[in-house]
Amino acid sequence: MSDLMLDVSQAAELKMAFRRHGWTNADIKTLSEGDLLGKVLMVIKKRAEIVRTEHLIDCSAPPFCPAGWTVKKHKPGSEKYEFDPAQISLYQSKKQKKEAIDGKELHQELASWQFLNANVLDHLLSHQNLIPEKWKYKFIFFFGTIYLSNSGGPCVRCLRWNDHSWEENWEWLNSGLDDRHFAIVHKGHF
């Protein structure tokens, strides 16, 4: 073992690099645990490579349909959609920020937007590490897929945090959506 010394200027360099790349204190703690830093050192010494994991979602495929439900409308997207939170917006109507609005009204307001479908919801439920922390305590609706429930009413599935993990939920399309409810939309081509 060498006598590693971290002087003030090196600590400042690390701090600036962490900030530049969007690191959080939790990320730095994770980096310090286990053998992750050893793996990073292997990359620095050119004994290993970093391979980026792509999360490609087939948004053109038929969506999952809960038992007894049918798909009323499904807006297919790309066959190889790569989920990137930087390309996502959580949309709320201006009216919705003041009072609850009808889900149908919000859906109509979104007609010109690229809203994501339920295939993305199901992928996120299977890969919860991809879900941004700032989405907690919000209901995130995937208006790209509209269902008819077993009672025949139109509804939309959503993602929500239940204080322990992410789970799916749903709302009737004619329900009132308040300031906790958001539609997930894509900023570019979907």
Q: Helix (H, G, I), strand (E, B), or coil: what is residue 181?
A: strand
Question: In whole numbers, what is the pLDDT of the chain averaged over residues?
Answer: 89
Residue 188 pLDDT? 62
In the chain, pLDDT over 90 holds for what percent of residues? 40
SS percent in the chain: helix, strand, coil, step 5: 30, 25, 45
Provide the greatest CA pair distance for the chain: 70
pLDDT for residue 97 is more than 90: no
Nearest 5°: the CA angle 28, 166, 145 is 125
Question: End-to-end distance of the chain based on CA atoms, in angstroms?
Answer: 51
Fill in the amino acid letter for 80.
K
pLDDT for residue 120 is more than 90: yes
Nearest in space to 166 (alpha carbons), one of 143, 190, 142, 133: 133
State the average pLDDT over residues 74-102: 89
Contacts of residue 50, Cβ cutoff 8 Å, sequence gap at least 6? 43
Rounded Cα–Cα distance for residues 59 and 112 (Å): 18
138 HSE (CA, 13 A, CB side): 17
Rounded Cα–Cα distance for residues 109 and 97 (Å): 14
pLDDT for residue 131 is more than 90: yes
- pLDDT tens track for 24-65: 888 888 888 888 888 888 888 989 888 776 778 999 999 999
Residue 49 pLDDT? 87
For the beta carbon of residue 173, count every other beta carbon within 10 angstroms. 23
Q: Where are the domains of the chain?
A: 8-44, 56-186
